[in-house]
Structure 1
Amino acid sequence: MNGQDAKPFLYVVVCAAGIAADVGTLVTAAQRRGWEVGVIATPTAAADGFFDVAAVEAQTGRPVRAAARRPGDPRPFPPPDAVIVAPATFNTLNKWAAGITDTLAVGTLCEAYGLGVPLAVLPCVADALAAHPAYRESLARLRGMGVRFGDPYAGEAGEGGGPPEFGWERALELIEGRPAPGP
């Protein structure tokens, strides 16, 4: 944990998937459980309106990061005590497993693994992409690295009998050591 009396610090990595618009749900749940939160977004998620960056910044009291700091700029976040990737896309998961650090988001994930920080993922990948052999190999590699996966759509039917809502809190259960179903 960061500092003697400080709250644990959680990095939330947000990828460009439609459900990212609701990332504030995860931030709220984490804050209720005693976490301080900093959000790191993939460049597409931050720039192309996948979520309300200003609202998340107001909610966390910190800037949303999508680009590397310039030399000499202060670090806007303390080191993480845990990292959640939600929603996690096909692109980000494959690049992470391959160690391709071409964005701040993926570089942060690669570094967090090296630091031994607990890592949890809620994938948001279309079935056609999930069938690709590179994706299956990436999941196997990440699991072998100790990354914890949860199924964000496991659970009861959603409103009107539709698919279940995205289970943001499953990621918190994974990093807090509670069992959660995985894909």
Structure 2
Amino acid sequence: MIEQAEKPFLYVVVCAAGIATGVGELIAAAQKRDWEVGVIATPVAAASFFDVDAVRARTGRPVRSAWRTPADPRPFPPPDAVVVAPATFNTVNKWSAGIADTLALGTLCEAYGLGVPIAVLPCVADALAAHPAYQESLIRLRGMGVRFGEPYSGEPDEDGRRPGFGWERGLDLLERRR
């Protein structure tokens, strides 16, 4: 049986980037905007890039990173929207190519096919972002209706300050779709 959420349900897909430690900020902001939240992480992200127990406590739901068997109940209702944050070079390129070799990627590929709104906050080093495959992936995903926030590089400004990731930008991008 699929659980039905009373509030709109947001999937947050978390990739393995150092900034992922702050994903609780996105969850808190989404809950403040009246979303129920479920987190799906790439296997590497779930293993060591953020506090899975803190996220579980905050959402009241398990953090998913592995496929379930057909006999297992669905732990989340279907998504009303998805935010991918932080989105890495690897995830963006695989997703664009239709590779679904992890639960996170399979979820993203399926969400597109279901017409679910998707917002992405990239966290990709400038050297990787310059790669032609990444640029082509952005073009393809944008053509599919995926909304992208400005890339985060974490580069210090002229005063040496590193900008914040701006987790709420993903939610703002979804609001523009409503």
- TM-score, with normalisation over the residues of structure 1? 0.89
| Local SS of the residue matching 2:20 | helix
User: Which residue number corresponds to residue 165 of structure 1?
Assistant: 164
Q: 8 Å contact 2:123–2:152 — kept in the other structure?
A: no
Paired residues, what number? 172
User: Which residue number corresponds to residue 65 of structure 1?
Assistant: 64
Taking the aligned partners of 1:89 and 1:147, their CA distance within structure 2 comes to 15
Q: Does residue 115 of structure 1 match 2:114?
A: yes
C-alpha deviations, 1:108-132, integer Å up to 9, x for none?
A: 0000000000000000000010010
Taking the aligned partners of 2:45 and 2:167, their CA distance within structure 1 comes to 17
Taking the aligned partners of 1:165 and 1:24, their CA distance within structure 2 comes to 14
How far apart are 1:6 and its partner, in Å? 1.1
User: Which residue number corresponds to residue 27 of structure 1?
Assistant: 27
AA at the equivalent of 1:83: V
Runs of 4+ displaced beyond 6 Å: none
Q: 8 Å contact 1:45–1:51 — kept in the other structure?
A: yes
Q: 8 Å contact 2:17–2:88 — kept in the other structure?
A: yes
Q: 8 Å contact 2:124–2:152 — kept in the other structure?
A: no
User: Which residue number corresponds to residue 80 of structure 2?
Assistant: 81
Q: 8 Å contact 1:83–1:120 — kept in the other structure?
A: yes
User: Which residue number corresponds to residue 174 of structure 1?
Assistant: 173
Q: 8 Å contact 1:152–1:168 — kept in the other structure?
A: no
- TM-score, with normalisation over the residues of structure 2? 0.92
User: Which residue number corresponds to residue 181 of structure 1?
Assistant: none
How far apart are 1:153 and its partner, in Å? 4.5
How far apart are 1:163 and its partner, in Å? 2.6
Superposed, 1:89-168 pairs within 5 Å as: 89-151=88-150, 153=152, 162-168=161-167
Taking the aligned partners of 1:33 and 1:152, their CA distance within structure 2 comes to 23
| Local SS of the residue matching 2:92 | helix
| Local SS of the residue matching 1:40 | strand
Q: 8 Å contact 1:153–1:163 — kept in the other structure?
A: no
- Name whichever of 143-152 and 33-42 sits farther off: 143-152
Root-mean-square deviation (Å) = 1.8
C-alpha deviations, 1:1-32, integer Å up to 9, x for none?
A: x95x8100000000000000000000000000
| Unaligned segments of structure 1, at least 5 residues | 179-183
Q: 8 Å contact 2:119–2:148 — kept in the other structure?
A: yes
User: Which residue number corresponds to residue 55 of structure 2?
Assistant: 56
Taking the aligned partners of 1:103 and 1:80, their CA distance within structure 2 comes to 18
Taking the aligned partners of 1:62 and 1:35, their CA distance within structure 2 comes to 14
Taking the aligned partners of 2:164 and 2:151, their CA distance within structure 1 comes to 8
C-alpha deviations, 1:43-101, integer Å up to 9, x for none?
A: 00011x10000000000000000000012100000000000000000000000000000
